[in-house]
Structure 1
């Protein structure tokens, strides 16, 4: 029986669906009849008519009543950052001579910790630089004069005041190696900053050329290390252990003020800033000179360019995508919305997106005032921003736009902020590192000095440094007992057990105790306290308070008078935090190298237990 059916009008048959067996196939599958799949995977095509019919089956001959963009006209309003304010301090005129990260994070390079001089490595570097400056044009004897005027003094190993040097072998060796042989360059720098001349105290006193080198020396150091002019005028907020700052730029009416309330992770970008609608301007002092008005408005015309990327799906079915992008190798989690959006864009959209380029300088804020697109049919289309509406509208969606603080039904800000920041920063090893942990058993927070800065300029493990310093003070006490300076009280224990009020913890564990916030009976904060240094055979009541050896925890100790240090209780979560300070280095777009000293904060690793206990019964320890 012949099952062949002749069809005279294929269009009528398909339209009226007269023969349901005639279908449109949108999927092709190879059916190899052998174990070898090589030929089947080649998808060989020998009939051009077959190719055309497949294009027809896939709907590639269907036309849409739309045209591709052929011409675009855009009006862009731009402005630039003109003011900077660090944590409520005096407003400064902003300049782009250094990256914004360096301007925000800069802190004073530590040269003294209490009464102890530190940063021996930088002091030596400064001294060597000065001796090089005077090497060629002045007598050779002048070198020895400066070494004698600004020497390194070797401390006495039998004095308590020298413990932070002599207790650590590596620090003692370095000080012994340079004592009376090298020059303390920072001592000369402080001498010059006090208004004195570089030639003071030398045989070349009053030499104008030598004094001019002093100005050159101070300029070199201040350009080498970026530091705040005023130690208190920096963006670091100790009670929060994070940076806070504000920047502003002239707007159409007043100023656009942007604030960063919680910056601590080291990479500064647009998402760290929020628009503050309650601030119309940053008030400056009369003597502050601001840059010229940076507001501009430009109208430019473009030919829109189709966006393309590796692995983008092709609109023609017989073309294969670039295999360099393997979407199947992406393994996103259910919370990785950015990856999921990227995969959806890469797998679905092809020639639906067009690019209109517009170059913006660093430190600028731009806003598209209007965008008109003309297609190939001559139709003009007005394009509105995708994120328009109220800033608080939960259905609004956009990217790379600033958030407006508060819940005041403010219109959304669709401007684009390009911060003057750098992509990569070289970061040294932490000079000091502190772990803040919660100890629920002792009902306090501990600041564990995991790494402390030695006077030589290097870092050392905090536990080892604490053990060595405790051993040093014990040695000094034993010497005083042996010399008869201190006579320990002879206590005769008649029982095998005794009552102990409290035990102790390692000296690198600094306690923070909960106290009431002033004026509140419910809210608490954390105040730095001190543990007693308990030495064997020490006289009762003679225990000294253990002071921290890191800048971050010593906040307020080096001021006159000494100030208490408080941390907001909510800043130490249950997981704790890790804070550290490092030297950082980067290169700005003009080729200038920028160095600064800054702090970081990260999430900790959970709670801990110090072993601190009170009201214990312990075995009697008899004197030997």
Structure 2
């Protein structure tokens, strides 16, 4: 420890400066270390204080001795009014309304669900194998052969087994060796109400009643396997392909006037109250009434509990605090007012907040009609809606209202209680990246992963390398090559087969006064020499294999051959970039997707299709296929260029 002493204060008149200025080389440091002299640590744990007055002074400085005449809440009396949302609607009304009764699956699953068995041939065949196991376990192995003959499971052979290895393997294992669960469940489900035994007897199976019982048990198992609409429509009807997001609405039922909540931009797989916009509410002076309205009072007065959070200051002096959050290590600049306000709230006013547990049915719009809190002195205090210091309404959790709806004052104290769902998303069945390419003045959709013939994903980057070649056909052996030109002209540089262009086009119905564009899906054309005689030569075997794969690929459109050249147009292979299912025949004729220009920003977007697994409030397991959209990876470059001139021999 260094003590600075003024020469004037020490009454030193004339002295050498070295006498009062410490020598830096003589500076020493001391450490205070505990030196226990006994094995008993009781005295150290007692922590006796030599100056209790110092602690009292610190309590006074922190306003701990200030009397506020305030009691702690020990009880509450409240009343909650609500309106349940019992119908799931399409924004345009093109899809019939879906009822949402008690016990219905969560909204995320209801909105996202799309065909499962029809879109995943391997899972479809495995579900059919479950039926065969049930029949053999019930002693009805004789029914296996008729079912296999009437409903064979089909897993198509891939056009390129090296690129779709999983499709090749499952085609050899399950093609025609299992039951088509999707077709059989649809057919038998329609026959259950009419004549289930007649349906089984028409297959040539003896003793139909026993087989019908097995089929009914298997049908219940299929219904529990996944949320499958059993349709061939592809994506969910609430999926908007032009914006690559979901759009739907909720409406009340049996309540007058009707309430309506709309979610136009649902993309992230997790619904909450802030995803909804109120589109229809009662007008001022109208009361919400009806048989389906909720007027809830707790059977027993709920007990408030103090709000807790990680790192909260301890209530007692010697209590160990939570070490997951260290407020002392959080730095804040003078201009960082938000962080300073948060620290002050957490450290000074953190123990002033209480929670009141309330259990209410989900999928309903609620408002607190009455709220009284009773403290330990027996005083009951009414708690009104929170307001700012100037008297205005505190609207942090207020729901947004469309301009055509009722005034916002009707929703100041309303909140939509959305069911909480924690879904696990599996590996992407399909992954598409959309980005801007300023050099080519285009937008690109890159198919990273798509489903193969078995339903399992495949890497489209590897597949695209097997569908393109930078070589040209060699001249026949013994032929004298023509003298080359000094300059070589390239019309277009090649682009990978999994890069799908989106070109700006004028919006349909746009006027000169209101002119806007959309991004329409196009194709990349690759021209190859397809002279039959030259392709048959061994030296050109690699190019011949590429041409054969191009002609066999179902997503490649081959143009007519002209003068030994043939063009191949690459269409998307997955379902995200289509408006019709992947097996639709309109891919080459009318299926040209148009995206809104603002949906592909400079940061780009990523869209995925994947299995989702979750459990609802009752513990029921839910499995469905859904889509999600996230921020992309920024701009990119395809390398697409036109009209390039190079010197022969590699010169620029």
TM over 0.5: yes
Uncovered stretches (5+) of structure 2, i.e. residues with no partner: 1-28, 36-43, 284-289, 532-560
Structure 1: distance between partners of 2:306 and 2:190 = 63
Displacement after TM superposition at 1:170 (Å) = 4.0
**Offset at residue 409 of structure 1 (A):** 5.5
**C-alpha distance 278-467 of structure 1, shift in aligned 2 (>3 A):** farther
Q: Determine if the alignment matches structure 1 residue 92 to structure 2 residue 93.
A: no
In structure 2, the CA distance between the partners of 1:61 and 1:439, relative to structure 1 (3 Å rule), is closer
Q: Which residue of 1 aligns with 2:429?
A: 431
Give the Å deviation of 1:240. 0.8
Would the alpha carbon gap of residues 154 and 527 (structure 1) be closer, same or farther in structure 2, given more than 3 Å must change? closer
Question: Aligned with 2:263: secondary structure?
Answer: strand
Distance 1:552 1:495, change over 3 A: same
Map of 1:222-241 to 2, 5 A cutoff? Answer: 222-228=223-229, 231=233, 234-241=237-244
**Closer/same/farther in 2, CA of residues 498 and 267 from structure 1, 3 Å limit:** same
The 1:153–1:313 alpha-carbon spacing in structure 2 relative to 1, beyond 3 Å, is closer
Q: Which moved more, 1:547-556 or 1:67-76?
A: 67-76
User: In structure 2, what is the Cα distance between the partners aligned to 1:466 and 1:100?
Assistant: 38
**Is 2:418 the partner of 1:383?**
no
Shift of 1:585: 0.8
Residue 112 (structure 2) pairs with residue 105 (structure 1) = yes
Of stretches 300-309 and 264-273 in structure 1, the one that deviates more from structure 2 is 300-309
Q: Which moved more, 1:235-244 or 1:529-538?
A: 529-538
Q: Tell me the SS of whatever aligns to 2:431.
A: strand
If the length of structure 1 is used for normalisation, what is the TM-score?
A: 0.75
Q: Is contact 1:164-1:455 (8 Å) kept?
A: no
Q: Does 1:528 align with 2:521?
A: yes
Distance 1:174 1:336 in 2: 59
Q: Distance in 2 between matches of 1:597 and 1:310?
A: 36
- For residue 519 of structure 1, give the secondary structure of its aligned residue in structure 2: coil
Q: Contact between 1:70 and 1:376, CA under 8 Å: does it hold in 2?
A: yes
CA contact (8 A) 1:250 1:294 kept: no
How far 1:143 moved relative to its partner? Answer: 2.5
- The equivalent residue for 1:569 is 597
Deviation at 1:511, TM superposition (A): 1.1
- Which of 153, 161, 168 does residue 164 from structure 2 map onto? 168
What is the aligned partner in structure 1 of residue 270 from structure 2? 267
**Gaps spanning 5+ residues in structure 1: where?**
1-32, 113-118, 157-161, 281-290, 483-489
Equivalent residue number for residue 403 of structure 1: 400
Distance 2:391 2:159 in 1: 61
Report the Cα distance in structure 2 between the residues aligned to 1:574 and 1:586, rounded to whole angstroms.
34
Structure 1 window deviating more from structure 2 (342-351 vs 372-381): it is 372-381
State the secondary structure of the residue aligned to 2:528.
Answer: coil
2:608 & 2:360 partners in 1: Cα distance? Answer: 35
Aligned 8 A contact 1:101 1:421 in 2: no
CA deviation after TM superposition for structure 1 residue 427, in Å? 1.4
Inter-partner Cα distance in structure 2 for 1:334 and 1:579: 41
Q: What count of residue pairs does the alignment treat as equivalent?
A: 551
Compared CA separation, residues 331 and 254, structure 1 to 2 (3 A):
farther
In 2, the alpha carbon distance for the partners of 1:415 and 1:154 equals 52
The separation in 2 between residues aligned to 1:100 and 1:554, in whole angstroms, is: 25
TM-score computed with the length of structure 2 as normaliser: 0.72
The residue number in structure 2 matching 1:177 is 173
Contact 2:85 2:100 in 1 (8 A): yes
CA contact (8 A) 2:449 2:460 kept: yes
Which has the larger displacement, 332-341 or 496-505?
332-341
Partner residue in 2 for 1:368? 368
Equivalent-residue separation in structure 2 for 1:320 and 1:586 (angstroms): 39
| Residue pairs, 1:58-73, within 5 angstroms | 60-64=64-68, 66=70, 68-69=72-73, 72-73=76-77
Q: Deviations over 1:342-369 (max 9, x none)?
A: 5333201154334444322333433111
Q: Which moved more, 1:336-345 or 1:72-81?
A: 336-345
Give the Å deviation of 1:125. Answer: 0.8
Partner in structure 1 of residue 15 of structure 2? none
Q: In structure 2, what is the equivalent of residue 485 of structure 1?
A: none
Take 2:337 and 2:152, find their aligned partners in 1: how far apart are those partners? 61
How far has the Cα of 1:617 moved from its partner? 2.6
Whole-angstrom CA distance in 1 between matches of 2:331 and 2:497: 47
Task: Confirm or deny that 1:591 pairs with 2:590.
Answer: no
Summarize the Cα distance change of 1:38–1:273 in structure 2 as closer, same or farther, 3 Å threshold: farther
| SS across alignment from 1:122 | helix
Distance 1:515 1:194, change over 3 A: farther
Take 2:265 and 2:631, find their aligned partners in 1: how far apart are those partners? Answer: 14
Is 2:416 aligned against 1:417? Answer: yes
Residue equivalent to 1:298: 297
1:509 counterpart = 2:484: no
| Cα deviation, residue 267, structure 1 | 1.6
Alignment map for 1:146-157 (pairs within 5 Å):
146-151=147-152
Return the alpha-carbon distance in structure 1 between the equivalents of residues 351 and 264 of structure 2.
Answer: 41
Shift of 1:216: 4.2
SS in 2 for 1:104: helix
The yes-or-no answer on 1:607 pairing with 2:635 is: yes
Q: Distance in 2 between matches of 1:439 and 1:322?
A: 53
Flag the 1:377–1:82 CA change in 2: closer, same or farther, 3 A.
Answer: same
CA RMSD of aligned residues (A): 4.3
Displacement of 1:500 in angstroms is 3.2
